[in-house]
Amino acid sequence: MVQSEYDQMKKCVERTNDKLYRSHEIRNERINFIVIFLIVYIQYSLWFLEYSASIRMALTLGLIGVLLTFHNFKLRINVYSLIVFVVGILCIIISCLVNGFNLQFDGWNVVTWSCAFLTSSIIGSSSFYKAYTKTIAILAFSGTVVFCISLFIPSIFFHLPILDKQSWTSDAIIHNAFLGTVSLYSNYKRNFGIFYEPGLFAFHLNLAVFLELFVLERPNTKHLMILLAALLSTFSTNGFITVSIFFIAYFLKKHNQLNRTQIKKIKGICGVIVIIAIFIFVTNNSIWLFLINKLSELNSSSTAGSGFERFRAFKYATETFLENPVFGVGQEGWITIFNGYIATFTPINWFALYGIIYGLLCIILYVRIITVGKSNVVSMAIQFVGLLTLIVSQNVSNYFVIIIIILYNASTFTRKI
């Protein structure tokens, strides 16, 4: 009798502890999401680009402090992440000693690495990826709603604040809808999200799609549909190519495991994409002009357009690296070489900026994420191609979200201090 009462009390205590633990986990997940959402917004939104880099970094560090507080000041430092962090910072410092130090840009890179390292030491990769994909899904939904309203009732946004920061095209007047930006009077109607240009929005959307398909335990169908709908409205050529590659890789990974329900979901997603595409094409005449201009960039004599700009970015970055393979040119040299031009070819930018060690460190650990999910060799090879196309049309070499992926991938070598 006494033993039976003891067992009941023990089970009751265990249930209570489980509830408390689960409650604590839910609270931490919410805090993680709120902090990551705010960091993404502060780091990348066109609105906050109007503020200085020092203000944005101070706010980011403050948010990381909040994150650390809610996690009881516990840092789970991974040995390999620490090594990568130290090597990355040393590469930047040595390049600065050789080429000169630019406080704004080199300083930003050092602080970005530091913020990413702190964040990766506070929360695990799974928690970060969940918070990031949820953040981008929410921004995708809000941005697409704002974009659709602006197509039919643009007058609603006339009295919203105008953003002074230069956007991707000089003929656009950008109004701040806070969870989306509205481009009025532009030749092309495209979805910016909260970002300064549609291509950058497409980058975040595709990265979230990749994480949903290959890294998180189970893809969130609602998230994927929202992400794809938003991606369609960006009209990003590279975005369409990249997402197609990711879905081909996913199909090759799962084709033997799909049941009827999953096949129906895939058909439903494809149907929604087709409907949205038809709707946008029918209601937006400027898209046809956009497509014609895109096709004209295929002409070998072209000297303008995003295709030409990407080719020039690749050419300049490659030449820069080959001339300065050991230490790179640093931000000082980079600004001189790319004065007035866009430098979007991230894989080569890593090498050209701070040298071969830094470049290898970043590119190898960036693509190492393909080993996180359980994929076959063919699927992993296609994921590799998709990850490269993801970063060849944007300069994300010093982006917080990319650096933290690099550090998380280093930590998969195991062991913590």
Q: Tens digit of pLDDT for each residue in 97-144?
A: 999 888 888 899 999 999 999 999 999 999 999 999 999 999 999 999
In a domain, 215, yes or no: yes
pTM of the model: 0.86
* 383, part of any domain: yes
In tens, the pLDDT along 310-365 reads: 778 888 889 989 999 999 998 888 888 877 677 888 999 999 999 999 999 999 99
Q: Which pLDDT score, from 0 to 100, does residue 416 have?
A: 44
Q: What pLDDT, on a 0 to 100 scale, did the predictor assign at position 144?
A: 94
> How far is 75 from 78, CA to CA, in rounded Å?
9
Cα-based distances in Å from 339 to 24, 105, 196, 336, 393: 50, 14, 19, 5, 18
Q: Which of 221, 229, 204 is nearest to 263 (CA)?
A: 221
Contact predicate 270/244, CB 8 Å: no
Q: Give the pLDDT confidence score for residue 363 in this predicted structure.
A: 96
More confident: 129 or 16 = 129
Residue 294 neighbours by CB under 8 Å, 6+ apart: 237, 305, 306, 307
Whose structure tokens read 């633990």? 21
Into how many domains does the chain fold? 1
- When comparing pLDDT for 156 and 400, which is higher? 400
pLDDT at residue 9 in the model: 65
Give domain status of residue 7, yes or no.
no
- Partnered with residue 175 across adjacent β-strands are 162, 182
pLDDT band at 50 (very low <50, low <70, confident <90, very high): confident
The identity of residue 393, as a single letter, is S
| Residue 297 belongs to some domain of the structure | yes
319 inside domain: no
Amino acid at 145: V
- Residue 29's domain spans which residues? 15-301+336-411
Residue 325 lies in a domain: no
Asked if the model's pLDDT at residue 255 lies above 80, the reply is no
For residue 381, the tally of other CB atoms under 10 A from its CB is 14
Domain assignment of residue 93, yes or no: yes
268 or 229: which carries more pLDDT confidence?
A: 229
CA distance 356 to 361: 8
* Residue 156 three-state SS: helix
Give a yes or no: residue 306 inside a domain.
no
Closest CA to 325 of 349, 354, 347, 355: 355
